[in-house]
Amino acid sequence: MSCGVVLGYAYGFGSAPGDELVCLVGAPDQLTAPADVSPVTPTVARSVVVLDADGEVLGRRDLDAADGWAVPGPDGSLVRALRVGEVPAGHGTELEEDPRSGEPEDVPPGRDVVVVLEDALTGEERWRHELPFTDGLGWNCIGWVDDGDGGSRMLADVERLWTAVVDDLVQVDGCGVSAWFGPGGARLDDPELPADGVLRLPDGALYRDASGQMSWGYSSAFPTEERSVVLAPDGSVRWETPGPLLLPRASDGRELGLRLVRADGGLAAYGADGAERWSGSGTGAPEEVLAVAGGVVVTATAGELTALDVSTGSERWTLGSAGLRDPDVTDDAGAYSFANTFTDGEHLIVATQDWSGRDQQLVAVDLTDGDVVWRTDLAANAWPLAVQGALLVVEDASVSRLG
């Protein structure tokens, strides 16, 4: 059995849990080795069960593979996706690789897709979209298999189809199709930009990223010269961003409308309406934004933290990599990266790990002055989580609470 929305690869800000939990019973075994290419007939769970907030069963119904792939959707729904039309003769055939671009040559055309959001309990259709097969999405149409001689062969996988729900947004991806939909069925991506993606922002607005960073695989379709945009919740365009948004990993909830943009060689801040608040043009753009909390924007570049005043962009403090990590543990660790990040509004709490992933530390930094308040070592397989205001560390066979 699998329950609830399965997290995709895109980083979202989370949405409030609904009153109903959708579970699939008899779901396909995810540990089974996949076939060389995608099956023509979808493999779906035997049935769907809906639970209320107290865990009581509200109902159950059987699922039919003829209605397509099934994944739990937003607000007590089920997302169904199905290829329609004749099965292409070229499915599963061997392809040649273009030596210049690395992309497959002569990918056979695939089939159109129908995506439906239905009530998980009753099966009643809420909305439906038809997605025509589109050329130029070849990176999603291939599979690799061992050729038996230490190399690999490229096969046409034109039946590949994948659906996911990120926060309350529905994503459909596969050979010749790529689309994002809001919970009410509004299409949010630009059909002319096959590599774009959409995220829900903390204040409920949406961000359509045209860079291709939310797609997987490779293609000449990106990078693109098109501008990314901030959308209203209904999908209408509010304003174009002058560069990519840098989305904070953690927030204290006080600056939900703040938009941080990498532009003109620096970091700039805008309001929800697109009005510029401040700009650090030419000062160097950070690699990422870890948090917006306690009146500062905490950025990270090459292992160094910098806190900027959220109102003016002026520098408040910096913390070098040597001061952040425990030198007794990390003398020979080399470069490290930032993993899970949290804040209680007064501290930045960030997990750091070395290049191997074996050396992890959880570090708390005072947002007022950048002083390290405490550090603790984490096992290589440990995963820190924040749950209802508590900081937990999850390991293979245990869960512990810090503090």
pLDDT at 213 (0 to 100): 63
pLDDT at 144 (0 to 100): 83
Residue listed under structure tokens 């993606």? 197
Residue 140 lies in a domain: yes
pLDDT tens digit sequence for 96-137? 888 887 777 888 889 999 999 999 999 999 999 999 998 866
Residue 247 lies in a domain: no
HSE-CB at 297 with a 13 A cutoff on CA atoms is 28
Spatial contact of 141 and 175, defined as CB atoms under 8 Å apart: yes
pLDDT at 303 (0 to 100): 85
Who contacts 389 (Cβ-Cβ below 8 Å, separation ≥6)? 344
HSE-CB at 19 with a 13 A cutoff on CA atoms is 2
Distances (CA, A) of 106 to 94, 131, 363: 10, 22, 52
Residue 33 lies in a domain: yes
pLDDT tens digit sequence for 330-358? 545 556 788 889 999 999 999 988 766 66
Provide the domain limits for residue 376.
335-365+372-402
Residue 48 lies in a domain: yes
Residue 204 lies in a domain: no
Angle ∠(120,83,24) on CA atoms, nearest 5 = 30
Quote the tokens at residue 351. 């997990």
Residue 50 lies in a domain: yes
pLDDT-derived band at 259, boundaries 50, 70, 90: very high
d(CA 48, CA 61): 6
Residue listed under structure tokens 């860079």? 211
pLDDT at 131 (0 to 100): 96
Residue where a domain stops, chosen among 139, 156, 182: 182
Residue 250 lies in a domain: no
Residue where a domain stops, chosen among 165, 182, 199: 182
Residue 317 lies in a domain: no
Helix (H) or strand (E) holding 126: strand 125-131
Q: Omega before 223 cis (within 30°)? A: yes
Collapsing DSSP to helix, strand or coil, 47 comes out as strand
Task: Tell me how many domains the chain contains.
Answer: 2
pLDDT at 103 (0 to 100): 75
pLDDT-derived band at 12, boundaries 50, 70, 90: very low
Q: What is the pTM of this model?
A: 0.83
Spatial contact of 269 and 313, defined as CB atoms under 8 Å apart: yes
d(CA 142, CA 38): 10
Residue where a domain stops, chosen among 164, 182, 200: 182
CATH of the domain at 377: 2.40.10
